Amino acid sequence: MEFTFERKINYYETDRMGVVHHSNYIRFLEEARCAWLDFIGLPFATLEENGVTIPVLGVNCDYKYHVTFNDTILIQLSVKEFTGVRMTVGYKVTDKKTEHIVLLGETKHCFTNKELKPINLKKYNKNFYDKFANLLEQI
């Protein structure tokens, strides 16, 4: 299942050259991931209320093109891998107006309890596991 998040670029997110500073894209990916979790019915608040956190283990970004203040980007998000212990999320960021690919990236995550100890979601919360697993079936 693919999910698209739309976002307008703010002035403060640009650098002296007038383009979005590269570090902001990691924030944009997280915004998209939070919106996606809401969309699939597993908002962070619900996960955390049930003792589940999803820390980031790694981020990989290939910057392809730039965007500037007032541009709108589309962030397409999809789950590339899910084991119940780990998850990899892929991203394709495009400029809505020009359709240029701005960034290709991925984030790697694991599922943990409140003490940040890794958990197997299938054993810890089968309902949450099934929701994530069903997303892979929709690819």
- In this model, does residue 139 exceed pLDDT 60? no
Q: What is the pLDDT of residue 138?
A: 63
**Distance between first and last Cα of the chain:** 5
Give me the chain's average pLDDT, please.
Answer: 95
Domain boundaries, the chain: 2-137
Q: How high is the pLDDT of residue 2?
A: 83
Residue 20: how many other CB atoms lie within 10 Å = 23
> Is residue 72 scored above 70 in pLDDT?
yes
Give the start-end residues of each E strand in 38-122: 56-63, 72-82, 86-95, 101-110
Predicted TM-score (pTM) of the model is 0.93
Segment 104-134, tens digit of pLDDT: 999 999 999 999 999 999 999 999 999 999 8
| pLDDT of amino acid 88 | 96
Mean pLDDT of 6-23: 96
Q: How confident is the model at residue 52 (pLDDT cuts 50, 70, 90)?
A: very high
CATH architecture of the domain with range 2-137: Roll (3.10)
Would you say residue 13 has pLDDT above 70?
A: yes
Each residue of 81-93: pLDDT tens digit?
999 999 999 999 9
